[in-house]
Amino acid sequence: MSTIEERKFKIGDPILEVNNISLSFGGVNAITDTSFNVLEHEVRAIIGPNGAGKSSMLNCINGIYKPQKGSIAFKGDTLSKITPNIIAQMGISRTFQNLALFKRMSAIDNILVGRKLHSKANFLDVALQLPKARREEKVNLKKCEEIVEFLEIEKIKDTPVGKLPYGLQKRVELGRALATEASLLLLDEPMAGMNVEEKREMCRFILEVNEEYGTTMVLIEHDMGVVMDISDRVVVLDYGKIIGDGPPEEVRTNQNVIDAYLGVSHGE
């Protein structure tokens, strides 16, 4: 991207390193001996055909799946045998491919759950409404109201999210991830099923967060136009293996990638 030099947060050293991980379900190999890294403050896209193992990759990073082989390191610490909530504490947050919102809760309440790691008050503080709990709730609410404003969802903030249209649900989910103030965001197809206008807005939100707060992004996206526009580097998965890794323009002209997308059978 041409604006790289003008960025407030310059792209730095690797923040996340995936080393030779393999993941299989019974006989199905979802990921096979895969390595790549994510640099601090960059927007990294993961692309690939359906079933390539993209979501599985995010699930491994986030601790939902445990790869049978290999290791993943975040900020130099190896993530192994730890649960999603511990990984969240380390500063990784995410959205899901098939919306995973808290359906019966309002939009603002969903986003407030994202503040969990910034809430120190225990249940007794909350039950007794001690000053600590009140103060914290106020701060968290203010933060979430800011996010609501940023995502332009003020009108629906009190609506139970189950009743919202798909596009808005996706936005609420992004809001919830933003509320965590994680340093690494994993976005699994944040623009799937959206129209052009909605996609453009979503891109704007993602880029703005990246620019404003330097949040590192890993996003899965099928729309090549979008990928070319917003990502710094792209990794291409096919059948659980990496077949391309580099800047968007380089990946786009990679023969293996073209073949995979056109369904050409692999030569060797």
Ligand X SMILES: Nc1ncnc2c1ncn2[C@@H]1O[C@H](COP(=O)(O)OP(=O)(O)OP(=O)(O)O)[C@@H](O)[C@H]1O
Contact footprint for ligand X (CB under 6 A): 25, 28, 30, 48, 50-56, 97
Crossing angle between the packed helical segments 196-213 and 166-179, to the nearest 10 degrees: 10
By CB under 8 A, is residue 115 in contact with another protein?
A: yes
By CB under 8 A, is residue 84 in contact with another protein?
A: yes
φ, ψ at 24 (rounded to 5°)? -135, 150
Taking the complex as a whole, the smallest distance from the CB of residue 35 to ligand X amounts, in Å, to 17
Residue 151 has a CB neighbour count (10 Å cut-off) of 20
By CB under 8 A, is residue 128 in contact with another protein?
A: yes
Taking the complex as a whole, the smallest distance from the CB of residue 46 to ligand X amounts, in Å, to 8
**Residue with smaller CB distance to Mg ion, 55 or 183:** 55
Among 78, 85, 253, 255, binds another protein (CB under 8 A): 85
Among 160, 167, 214, 246, binds another protein (CB under 8 A): 160
Q: Is the dihedral of CA 50, 243, 23, 43 positive or negative?
A: negative
Residue 122 has a CB neighbour count (10 Å cut-off) of 11
Among 15, 121, 174, 226, binds another protein (CB under 8 A): 121
Among 8, 103, 200, 204, binds another protein (CB under 8 A): 103
Taking the complex as a whole, the smallest distance from the CB of residue 29 to ligand X amounts, in Å, to 8
DSSP string, 199-233: HHHHHHHHHHHHHHH--EEEEE---HHHHHHH-SE
Taking the complex as a whole, the smallest distance from the CB of residue 129 to another protein amounts, in Å, to 5
Could you give the CA distance from residue 44 to residue 33 in angstroms, rounded to a whole number?
20
